[in-house]
Amino acid sequence: MCLTDPGYGTDLTVSCDPLELAAVYMGDITMSAARTLTLEGPQHLVRGFSRWFGLSPFIGLERPGRAA
């Protein structure tokens, strides 16, 4: 992922509701449970997305007002 366009073509397009993608990142739901998540690109990149997307290092920490 890039914060600015480096001028190369797009390898993989990820579309998702931002709140749902945040829930995946935080480990609140699994990627397969994300209803709005769609991936467009070569199959090897689509298949590998879950391996390199990564999860938050804060998973498992208790959040205020919510049990871990």
Residue 18, phi then psi, degrees to nearest 5: -55, -40
Q: What percent of the chain has pLDDT over 70?
A: 94
* Amino acid at the residue 63: R
**What pLDDT, on a 0 to 100 scale, did the predictor assign at position 66?**
64
**What pLDDT, on a 0 to 100 scale, did the predictor assign at position 49?**
92
Measured distance CA(64)–CA(27) in Å, rounded: 16
What is the pTM assigned to this prediction? Answer: 0.71
The answer on pLDDT for 68 being more than 60 is no
Q: Is 67 helix (H, G, I), strand (E, B) or coil?
A: coil
Measured distance CA(41)–CA(49) in Å, rounded: 11
Q: Mean pLDDT throughout 45-66? A: 84
Q: What is the pLDDT of residues 27-55, one digit of tens each?
A: 999 999 999 999 999 999 999 998 888 88
Q: What angle do CA 35, 40, 42 make, to 5 degrees?
A: 135
